[in-house]
Amino acid sequence: MPTLPALDPSTVPERFGSAYPEEFRERVRARRKRALGNELGLTHYGVNLVTVPPGSWSALRHWHTRQDEFVYVVAGELVLVTDAGEQTLGAGMAAGFPAGKPDGHHLVNRSTGPAVYLEVGDRVPADEVHYPDVDLFVDASFVMRHKGGEPY
């Protein structure tokens, strides 16, 4: 008998922590991710259900050279920060960040309750990640480097 293919995300373990260099972890430390796509056996793209507590960030502001990113707010309120300014996103709002568009983005919870969003990103090879606000980039081999090139 095949396995029933749907799941309740609350049954998926939460992933804590960040791979950023220690000096950049503070603002994302409380963020929690459930890797729904992995749990469902998908390999072409990742789908995470992310909980962002008050005061936390989704990530450092960043953009990808080769990955398309999509976010959909499920609950609560998040402020999307990009070069264009700030947009407050409530439940049901969507945003997209096309590969190679050099405009850093992140989601900040300035509200008093938790916010939850879905994030999708494809797994194209040789993606780089750029961080306009800090001395960091991730190269095409996933190595975190200073902007001058030296690895962390």
Provide the binding-site residues for its own copies, judged by CB under 8 A. 1-9, 36-37, 39-45, 47, 49, 67-68, 70, 72, 74, 80, 82-85, 87, 89, 92-99, 101, 103, 105, 118, 120, 122, 124
What is the C-alpha to C-alpha distance for residues 16 and 95, in angstroms, rounded to an integer? 24
Q: Which two tokens stand for residue 131?
A: 């961080």
- At closest approach, how far in Å is the CB of 57 from its own copies? 16
- At closest approach, how far in Å is the CB of 41 from its own copies? 4
Q: Which is nearer to its own copies, 87 or 142 (CB)?
A: 87
Q: Which is nearer to its own copies, 89 or 115 (CB)?
A: 89
- At closest approach, how far in Å is the CB of 42 from its own copies? 4
Question: How far is C-alpha 147 from the chain's CA centre?
Answer: 21
Q: Which is nearer to its own copies, 40 or 143 (CB)?
A: 40
How far from 94 is each of 11, 33, 71, 107, 130, CA to CA, in Å?
25, 18, 6, 12, 22
What is the C-alpha to C-alpha distance for residues 33 and 53, in angstroms, rounded to an integer? 12
Q: Which is nearer to its own copies, 79 or 144 (CB)?
A: 79
What is the C-alpha to C-alpha distance for residues 44 and 88, in angstroms, rounded to an integer? 30
